[in-house]
Structure 1
Amino acid sequence: MDDEPMWAADHVVALTPGSAITIPETANEFAIKGNHLTLVKGNQFDGRTKTDPHKHIHEFLKICDMFKYRDTENEAVRLMMFPLSLTGEAKTWLDELNE
């Protein structure tokens, strides 16, 4: 039971119509820095009950705050990077919200 997704059984998840994450338009094109991507992927959340979603978000925000992209709001970068911070059941859950 400890290895089940957090939203199994007693947890209710409401479906979101369209995309679950809406990224605001940015005035400029930019590329995510490779070391930024490596740090985010190294701290992926799988959605299992033994993992702490609050800790994941805290670490994700700390990683995102380490990098600045000129003329781009940090929120846009976070929204672009967040799906990459998920794996396994958590990634499946997000993908299902997008349907």
Structure 2
Amino acid sequence: MDDEPMWAADRVVAQTSSSAIIIPETANEFAIKGNHLTLIKGNQFDGRTKTDPHKHIHKFLGICDMFKYRDTENEAVRLKMFPLSLTGEAKT
């Protein structure tokens, strides 16, 4: 029972009014490149039982490492992009 996802039907997950990810202010100083966004959206994680979150994170980091944004730390880019890599129940 403890190995079920948080969003299983018999569990209650508290809704948050905003994102749990805090993005540094410096992250707002860059625009996401179109091809970078396309790659991230093509590798979205939906949280289904048969999907592997570790594989998703590994691919996500690999995609993020392919791009550099001038004067912006890689971590800030990852924090801004990660919510875009989620869909469905995983995004909720």
Question: Which bin holds the TM-score, normalised by the shorter protein?
Answer: 0.7 to 0.9
Q: Partners of 2:14 and 2:40 in 1: how far apart? A: 26
Quick check: 1:4–1:48 contact (8 Å CA) kept in 2?
Answer: no
Instruction: Structure 1: state its 5+ residue gaps.
Output: 93-99
Cα offset for 1:7? 3.7
Quick check: 1:2–1:49 contact (8 Å CA) kept in 2?
Answer: no
Instruction: Structure 2: state its 5+ residue gaps.
Output: none
Distance 1:26 1:12, change over 3 A: same
Identify which of structures 1 and 2 has the higher relative contact order when contacts are C-alpha pairs closer than 8 Å and 6+ apart. Answer: 1
Query: Normalised by the size of structure 1, how large is the TM-score?
Result: 0.76
- Which 4+ residue blocks in structure 1 deviate beyond 4 angstroms? 1-6, 9-18
- The number of residues matched between the two structures is 92
Query: Normalised by the size of structure 2, how large is the TM-score?
Result: 0.81
Q: CA RMSD in A?
A: 3.5
Identity %: 90
